[in-house]
Homo-oligomer: A and B are copies of this chain.
Amino acid sequence: MGFSSQQTVIVGLGLMGASLALALRPHVAHLVAVEPDAPSRQKAVERGVVDEATDDLRMAVKRADTVILCAPVRVILSMVRDKIGAWLRSNTLLIDIGSTKQDICEAMGKLPIGIQAVGGHPMTGKEVSGLDAADPFLYANRPWVICPTRRTTPAARGRALALIEAVGALPVEMEAERHDKVVAAISHVPYLLSASLVATVRRFAEDDPSVWDLAAGGFRDTSRLAGQDIKMMSDILGTNTQAVATLLAMFRVQLALLETMLISRDESHLVDALTPIREARTAWYGQYERRMNGNGKHR
């Protein structure tokens, strides 16, 4: 069953919103962007990313039958909590792409009955941000988590799935709480480790600045997440504190186990502990590579 929508509104013309616009455009009748930045609005219309762009959220969403919120988590939260509920028509599908889901889904659950709201998190992205980096295949073959809310009717779920399939993404359904724990493990804790590593090297460099000159590929990869946008990350950490703290505690245990064997020079146990870790990483990476190279439906 294909995705159909007469008036589709994408809120936010960053990388994610603009890429979604490009991917959705062939499937929708009229595509409207809501974006506060005037040059981005102009560019998006000139390049045919959307049919129309406005800074008036209210005017745009009140005629919409589909609204997709493509903004940092707390911007989404404030729109869902304070604004959009009174403006949406009954039966409008509301979905978002925020990186944490519990707070957003809870807020969606308090919207007026009749609004069809589904939490969403596409597991995709790029090193670069903004409209200029927009890519119609950003979502193709990537998992897109959807989380039910108290406003997710079977019809809402069906429309969300159709939207996700229209852009070539692979829908994964899970509860918001479970989603937030998973991303704490694979994304938010890795960010904090990466930031703490850079902080450590920075302290070390006060005594020996040559550390920066010798750092190479291993440091590059392990430290990459420390370069992520801080506003985005502080929204994420602030709305997923408990899961991140829990996973950090689990991490500390694993690190302490390895460290104990290291310091006590118990090398045979250290090798025994590292072996299944290496195997797990290798197995995961093989599966990830196949996934990234498009063993899904869309190429």
User: How near does chain B come to A165, taking the closest CB pair, in angstroms?
Assistant: 17
Q: Is the beta-carbon distance between A214 and B186 smaller than 8 angstroms?
A: yes
Main secondary structure of the interface of A (DSSP, over half): helix
Residue on B nearest A213 in the bound complex, by CB: B143
Nearest-neighbour CB distance to chain B for A169, whole angstroms, equals 12
CB-nearest residue of chain B to A182: B211
The contact string, 1 if C-beta is below 8 Å from chain B, for chain A 172-207, is: 101000100111011101111111111111111000
A128 interface residue (CB < 8 Å to B): no
Tell me if A39 is interfacial: C-beta within 8 Å of chain B.
no
This protein's copies in its complex: 2
With an 8 Å Cβ cutoff, the count of chain A residues facing the other chain is 87
Interface flags, A118-130, vs B, CB<8A=1, else 0: 0000011100000
Residue in B124, B204, B218, B226 whose beta carbon sits within 8 Å of that of A225 in the complex: B218
Cβ contact within 8 Å between B190 and A197: yes
A287 CB to nearest chain B CB (Å): 7
**A residues apposed to B, CB below 8 Å:** 123-125, 142-143, 145, 172, 174, 178, 181-183, 185-187, 189-204, 208, 210-228, 230, 233-234, 237-238, 241, 244-245, 247-248, 250-251, 254-255, 257-259, 262-263, 265, 267, 270-271, 273-278, 280-282, 284-285, 287-288
What are 7 A-B pairs at a CB distance below 8 A?
A174-B210, A182-B208, A182-B214, A186-B214, A190-B197, A199-B257, A222-B224
